Structure 1
Amino acid sequence: MTTLTKDEWIQRAQARFVVRAGLTQAQALDYALALYGDGDVLDDEPEDVVDEDVSHWGD
């Protein structure tokens, strides 16, 4: 895996939230920033992290 910059990670996570959860760009950005802020996700692909997060919605 190539190390992503903060901006790259957030941009990819934001895009995944739009596709996977149907969020608006603004909502997706908020969620992506929150995931990035957790800090323990930085070694993982953003798409994988978003998929895991969204899979728990509605639990």
Structure 2
Amino acid sequence: MIAYTHAEHSVRWLLVGLGPGIVALALLSTGTWAKETAARAAALFEEVDRGAAPQPADRR
């Protein structure tokens, strides 16, 4: 029974540690930055589909 209790606490701390990281990744992947990145990637795929070579984006 003691081993189970110790394992339960370890799992709980694992969830407490990883949970905020998962939430942060979810927010980053659905934010404005992610949408703009997806739009740029889609434009590159459209260029490739038309047979044009993709041009490097201007770095700001």
Asked if these proteins are the same fold (TM beyond 0.5), I'd say no
Scaled to the shorter chain, the TM-score interval is 0.3 to 0.5
Larger radius of gyration: 2
Higher relative contact order (CA 8 A, sep 6+): 1
Task: Considering fraction of residues, name the structure with more helix.
Answer: 2
